[in-house]
């Protein structure tokens, strides 16, 4: 679905203001959460894959990796979990428990906002394609 996101952006001439790789990660997660049965479980599995891939990473990255078009695996992990949480804070109440308590309340609020904001943005383009 990530790769379909790249195709959708190209096909619809959608302006990308920021990293397209992040945008299509969001595209995939938003589609799963809105339109696919058990999409939240699928999104969490995808997030877990990013966490798994980051396990054998060094503590510090080379400078060249910071300029890569992709965000780091742990960014992608937490960005995905954030949208899943934001889509249903009651059902997913424990999803962000690994986040330190100092940040947890703020991050939960942000994730609800982020889910609503990105859903609205993508829906704008989903509706145009009918
Ligand atoms: Zn990509």
Q: Where are the domains of the chain?
A: 2-128
Residue 11 Cα, ligand 1 centroid: separation in angstroms? 15
The pLDDT value recorded for residue 14 is 96
What SS3 class is residue 83? helix
101 CA to middle of ligand 1, Å?
A: 32
In this prediction the pTM is 0.94
Taking a C-beta distance cutoff of 8 angstroms, is the pair 90, 40 a contact? no
Question: How confident is the model over 82-95, as a mean pLDDT?
Answer: 98
Percent of the chain surpassing pLDDT 90 = 87
Looking at residue 129, what is its pLDDT? 67
The protein residues having their C-beta less than 5 angstroms from ligand 1 (an ion) are 21
- pLDDT > 60? residue 130: no
Structure tokens at 94: 């424990």
What distance in angstroms lies between residue 80's CA and the mean position of ligand 1's atoms?
15
State the distance from the centre of ligand 1 to the C-alpha of 6, rounded, in angstroms.
7
- Crossing angle of helices 73-87 and 20-35, rounded to 10°: 30
The answer to whether the CB of 111 falls within 8 A of the CB of 83 is yes
């Amino acid at each position: 679905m990530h790769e379909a996101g790249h195709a959708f952006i190209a096909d619809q001439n959608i302006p990308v203001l920021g990293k397209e790789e992040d945008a299509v990660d969001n595209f995939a997660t938003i589609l799963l959460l809105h339109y696919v049965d058990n999409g939240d479980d699928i999104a969490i599995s995808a997030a877990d894959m990013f966490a798994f891939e980051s396990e054998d990473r060094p503590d510090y990255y080379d400078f060249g990796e910071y300029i890569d078009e992709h965000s780091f695996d742990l960014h992608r992990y937490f960005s995905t979990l954030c949208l899943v949480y934001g889509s249903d804070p009651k059902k997913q109440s424990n999803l962000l428990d690994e986040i330190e308590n100092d940040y947890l309340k703020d991050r939960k609020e942000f994730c609800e906002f982020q889910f609503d904001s990105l859903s609205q943005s993508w829906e704008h383009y989903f509706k145009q394609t009918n």
